[in-house]
Structure formats: structure tokens, C-alpha cells
Amino acid sequence: MEIILKNVGYYYKNKKYLEKVNLHIKQNRITGITGDNKTLLAELIDALTFASYGEIQVGGNLINRKNLIEVRRNVCMIHQKPMNQFFTTTVKDEMEFLIGRLDYKNKNIHKKMRDSLLIVGLNESYLEKTIYELSTGEQKLIQVAISLIYNPKVVIFDEPFVELDYTNKKKLIRLIKLLKERYHKTVIVTSNDSNMLYSLTDDLVVLKDTRVIAADKTGKIYEDVDFLESNEIEIPETVLFTYKARKKNVKLSYHKDIRDLIKDVYKHV
């Protein structure tokens, strides 16, 4: 499901937060959003907040206050602090609560609940667990599992890797890739971690102050070191290494994976 933003702006109490945003977020790709006010942009797509002007289309449907249920079914957002998103105490209650809210009907709902847990790599026993005994990483996985029940076409992750350790990070990365490759979802990831965005995303949107200053393939943006430096964007470390080597006339290529980089270094020494 593709998302189109036409001349979107947002202001609050006379302060501008977003101005003249025109974007085309493509179907079945992982799109990263980085820079200022990225969470706001994600919230506009999720219809948590409404734009002050301009229009947002999700899969051809214009977002307005009347079709909120429709939008909620299509778009799901995993917040930075998953705790804020839970209403009830156990995972099962939480799933049933959401199913009720979205008026979702399915005969095999209990099987579906179990299946969605398996997809995110957790087993059935988690249904009976209380939210409080889960770690932050598990809470995020549970949120994804809950959203998978009603099969949204767009999944937004807001700062997914903050406060996650290596093991949970790896799990979540695998899951994000799975969502795109096997379930053909449109995935949006907001983050300031350029290393992560460089290796994970297909497309990238860069925001600065209130405007979009770049929207292109991730590689194209992150390999343009001069652009990154002039806009004070963190350079991915693999890119910076290649850049420094190239300055010494070594013909190193840009690599997303450190192992590929090392092979290349080995060739050129």
C-alpha cells in the first residue's frame, strides 16, 4: 500500500513543525525517516495527529476524521515506548481488546492469535503473560504480533532500536525484513541511527527543521558524504571508512555489511 503526501504542513500555537512536505512512500519497501520531527510525520500517516493543511493518501484513501477505523486497520504504529500502548494486563486481553475495537471478525481467531505470536518468534505461553513481566524488547514484539492479527498493510516503527540490546535488536531487524519480504508490507522506520538505516532500509527521507531535504534510495543519500556533512547528518561508519580510504586514492567501494568491507580492504592492501 503506497502512501502519498501532498503539500502537507503542521503548525501548533503559531510554531511551524512541518512545511510543504511532498512524499511518495512506495509499496513493499522499507522506508527510513531521519532528522527533525520524524515522529510527527509518522503520526500524521497513522492519523494520530491531523495535518494543518495538505492531504495524505494511504492506499488511495484520503485520511480524514470520518474514515479513522479504515486507516487504523491499514496502518499500525509501534511506538518508541510500547508501555504507553497497552490498555490491559495480559497479552491475550490486549489482543482481544484490539480485535473488538477494530470490529475484526474471524472464526479462527484463537488460532490467529497463536500464529501471530509465532511469526514474531514468541510461543503460545506468552498469551497468558502479563505485560509487566516482559522486557521492552518483548513488549515491542508483542505489539507487532497484536497488529499482525488484523493484517495491516503499513507498519510504522517509531525509533524501534532505542533501549534495545543486541539480541532484541537482531530479532527485530529479522522481523522487519520478514514483514517486507514474506508479508509484503510497507514498512516505515524512524530513527537517527544512520548505521542501522543504511543497512536496513531501501528508501530514505531526510527532514531538517521543518522540511524534507532529501528523499531517495538510501544508498544514494548515505554515500553522498558532502551532503551529509553540510547538513550535519551522522555518516554511517562503513561509508566513512570507505570515504577516508578513497581520499588516499584507494579504490574501495561502499558496503553495507562489515564483512564485505573487510574482504574489499583485504583486496586493496
Partner 1 sequence: MEKALEINNLKFSYPNKEVFRGLSLTIEEGTFTTIVGNNKSGKTTLIKLMCGLLDGQKSVVAGYAYVNNQRIHDNSRFFGVVFSDVEGKFLFPNVYKEMAFPLENLNIEVKKIESKIIDIAKEFGITEMLDKKIEDLTTSEKQELLIAISLLHDPKMLLLDNAFSMMNKKSKEKILRILKNRIEKDHLTVVLTTMNLEEIIDSDYTYVLNDGNIVMEGSPLQILREERLLNQVGLELPFMADLSLKLEFYELVEGITMDMDRMVNTLWK
State which of residues 163, 229, 257, 260 lies at the interface with partner 1 (CB under 8 A).
163
Candidate ranges 106-114, 144-152, 162-170, 201-209; the one touching partner 1 (CB under 8 A): 162-170
> Residue 40 in contact with residue 217, Cβ under 8 Å?
no
DSSP 88-114: SSBHHHHHHHHHHHTT---TTHHHHHH
Residues in Cβ contact with 14 at an 8 Å cutoff, skipping those fewer than 6 apart: none
State which of residues 60, 103, 123, 269 lies at the interface with partner 1 (CB under 8 A).
269
Strand partners, 189: 32, 157
Q: Which three cell numbers stand for residue 89?
A: 494486563
Q: Which three cell numbers stand for residue 170?
A: 537482531
Residue 195 sits in the site that holds partner 1 (CB under 8 A):
yes
> Residue 238 in contact with residue 256, Cβ under 8 Å?
yes
Is the CB of 103 or the CB of 133 nearer to partner 1?
A: 133
Give the footprint of partner 1 on residues 70-129 (CB under 8 A).
none
Residue 169 sits in the site that holds partner 1 (CB under 8 A):
yes
State which of residues 88, 136, 151, 199 lies at the interface with partner 1 (CB under 8 A).
136
State which of residues 167, 182, 226, 230 lies at the interface with partner 1 (CB under 8 A).
167
Task: List phi, psi (to 5°) of 88.
Answer: -115, -170
Residues in Cβ contact with 246 at an 8 Å cutoff, skipping those fewer than 6 apart: 252
Candidate ranges 62-70, 120-128, 212-220, 244-252; the one touching partner 1 (CB under 8 A): 244-252
Tell me how many residues contact partner 1 (CB under 8 A): 31
Smallest gap from Cβ 213 to partner 1, in A, equals: 18
Closest CA to 52 of 105, 14, 96, 99: 14
Residue 192 sits in the site that holds partner 1 (CB under 8 A):
yes
| Contact residues: partner 1, CB under 8 A | 133, 135-137, 162-169, 192, 195, 234, 237-238, 240-241, 244-245, 248, 250, 258-259, 261-262, 265-266, 268-269
